[in-house]
Chain A
Amino acid sequence: MNGIHDMGGMHGFGPVQRQANEPVFHHGWEGRVFAMRVVTPVPIPGGARNNIEVMEPLRYLRSSYYEKWLHARVKGLIDSGVLTAEELQAREALYRERPDTPVPRREDTERVQAVLANLRTHRSPRRDVNTQPKFGLGDPVRVRNLHPPGHTRLPRYVRGKPGVVVRFYGFQDVQDAQPPGVTVEPQAVYAVRFAASELWGDAAQVNSTVCIDMWESYLEPLEEQGK
């Protein structure tokens, strides 16, 4: 979707603000949100990123990073029927009115070890398929001018632009939202390099390039025109 989250190339956000000695989490609740998002064994329908991307744009801009995570986790739990908005509101009201109410505690040492081991496990996104990649390293390609309404990994700033395939990352699941009932096979993923001048015209900075990963369906062969 052409959402507010698709920020590459936008103007107006000012200088990059940095903080010395920045803590990993700025507030205790951020760490709890991070951990709940990572370990709660309930998949988020449509995906956590989609839940953030469909936030109303002004709300997206004004929400802090972990506020967005909390929003995505809560929406996912409500959408999957694990809890209701009313339940959560009632519990918030309880803690607001009686701040001393203890948060229930539960412990399970074996589960801690299992969760930490799971977090250290990597599951390769590369899939075994019986297909050959359509493009080879060095091939000139053009990004298709796609504007899907749902989640996509194709940012606006590269759409329609010509580039060159520089790396091949095997076949991976397509992350873009599909219409209900539609499944797509894993696709070849490539890193494609773009000259800054193709992306930004006269505003391009000297001797600079941008590389971005492209699923094969984002690309078409580049026809050399007018040469």
Chain B
Amino acid sequence: MSGTHHHDVHAGSDADMALRTQALESLLVEKGLITTDVIDAVVRTYEHDVGPLNGAKVVARAWTDAAYKQRLLADGTVAVAELGFSGAQGADIVVLENTPSVHNVVVCTLCSCYPWPVLGLPPAWYKSYAYRSRLVREPRTVLREFGLDLPEYIEVRVWDSNSDIRYMVLPERPTGTEHLREDALVPLVTRDAMIGTAVVRADGVSSSPVES
């Protein structure tokens, strides 16, 4: 830590991490670099305000407003900002449209890049070594584990998110939802469908059953 080689390979326990975090926070507050209420507010914001509901609203709008969908696919950053979503880890959002012949799915093999303004912070599995290592090599197998068995005639197109571009998938609108208005479509759109590890179903049941 102080520049010497550190050969302790054991991960810290949560108690150790909590202690170190507390020590760091107290020093940064004393040094005037952060304030306690800023930390509280940022935690609250990402726990409650910035999450996949934002992306679901974008998807439902795109499904019901052809002009909006066109703008969304042309410039995702500007189109999601129309609905009030923008900011950190969303400086350049590119929306990938699923079609009857192409299914898009997003990964970050090098770390954990993810479009925060529309999806919030990524779930642990998105950051896991298993997902990061496997999706690019065996996407159909990984998707099957998520409950999504795609026929061979559909191209599986994996996007490895390695630059400042942040990718979000625009899932296909399921048949049987033609009568539903925008508001009623929002709750059908799951986080996993916008990552690409699921599709949206008309009954609102996730195709990737572990998801809440």
Residues in B1-30 with C-beta less than 8 Å from chain A: 1-2, 5-12, 14, 17-30
Instruction: State whether A33 touches B37 (Cβ < 8 A).
Output: no
A184 CB-CB contact with B under 8 Å: no
Q: Which residues of B contact A52 (CB under 8 A)?
A: 111
Q: Which of B121, B123, B210 contacts A34 (CB 8 A)?
A: B121
Q: Contacts A9-B137, A20-B210: A208 and B156 contacting too (C-beta < 8 A)?
A: yes
Partner of A95, one of B2, B14, B19: B19
Interface locus among A22-30, A131-139, A141-149: A22-30
Asked if B212 CB lies within 8 Å of chain A CBs, one says yes
Closest-CB distance, A164 to chain B (whole angstroms)? 13
* Residues of chain A lying within 8 A (CB to CB) of residue B99: none
Q: CA A70 – CA B17 in complex, angstroms? A: 8
Contacts of B159 in A (CB 8 A): 191, 210-212
The residue in chain B whose Cβ has the minimal distance to the Cβ of A151 is B110
- Taken together as a complex, chains A and B put the C-alpha atoms of A85 and B104 apart, in Å, by 45
B133 touches which of A11, A70, A106 (Cβ 8 Å): A11
Residues of B within 8 A of A191 (CB): 159, 165
Give B90 Cβ to nearest chain A Cβ, in Å.
6
Q: Are A33 and B163 in contact (CB-based, < 8 A)?
A: no
What number of residue pairs across chains A and B have CB atoms under 8 A from each other? Answer: 316
Confirm or deny: A205 has a beta carbon within 8 angstroms of a beta carbon on chain B.
Answer: yes
Known contacts A8-B109, A213-B163; is A19 also within 8 Å of B210 by CB? yes
Docked Cα-Cα span, A84 to B23, in Å, equals 12
Is A221's beta carbon under 8 Å from chain B? no
A105 to B40, CA, bound (A): 11
In the bound complex, residues from chain A placing their C-beta under 8 Å from that of B98 are none
Identify which of residues 109-152 in chain A touch chain B, using a CB-to-CB cut-off of 8 Å: 109, 111-112, 115-116, 119-126
Shortest Cβ distance from residue B131 to the other chain A in the assembled complex, whole angstroms = 5
Asked if A104 CB lies within 8 Å of chain B CBs, one says: yes
Question: B55-63, B138-146, B171-179, B182-190: which lies at the A interface?
Answer: B138-146
Chain A residues in 8 Å Cβ range of B162: 153-155, 212-213
Judge whether A9 and B129 touch: CB under 8 Å: no
CB <8 Å contact, A67 and B17:
yes
Q: From B37, which residue of chain A is reached at the shortest CB distance?
A: A107
* Contact among A13, A36, A96 for B128, CB-based, below 8 A: A13
Find A169's partner among B22, B29, B92, B109 (CB 8 Å cutoff).
Answer: B92
The range of chain A's interface size is 35 or more
Question: Which of B26, B128, B156 contacts A104, CB < 8 Å?
Answer: B26
A165 and B169 CA atoms in complex are apart in Å by 20
Taking A18-B125, A207-B155 as contacts, is the C-beta distance between A62 and B10 under 8 angstroms? yes
Across the interface, do B42 and A38 meet the contact criterion of CB distance under 8 Å? Answer: yes
B87 within 8 A of A: yes
Residues from chain B with a CB closer than 8 A to the CB of A31 are 43, 46-47
Chain A 2-18 per-residue mask, 1 if CB under 8 angstroms from chain B, else 0: 00011111111111111
B26 touches A24 (CB 8 A): no
B10, B124, B157: which contacts A65 (Cβ < 8 A)? B124
A85 nearest CB neighbor, chain B only: B2
Confirm or deny: A182 has a beta carbon within 8 angstroms of a beta carbon on chain B: no
With A16-B131, A65-B112 known as contacts, the answer to whether A56 contacts B7 (CB < 8 A) is yes
Chain A 185-216 interface mask (CB, 8 Å, partner B; 1/0): 00001010100000110010111111111010
Closest 6 CB pairs of A and B: A8-B109, A213-B163, A35-B42, A91-B23, A31-B43, A125-B164
17 CB < 8 A contacts A-B:
A5-B110, A8-B109, A17-B128, A24-B121, A26-B124, A31-B46, A34-B46, A35-B43, A85-B1, A107-B36, A111-B37, A121-B87, A125-B165, A157-B136, A169-B92, A205-B138, A211-B157
Apart from A67-B11, A120-B86, A191-B159: 16 A-B pairs, beta carbons within 8 A: A13-B130, A15-B130, A16-B130, A17-B125, A32-B21, A42-B33, A49-B110, A86-B2, A108-B38, A111-B38, A112-B35, A169-B163, A175-B164, A205-B139, A208-B158, A212-B159
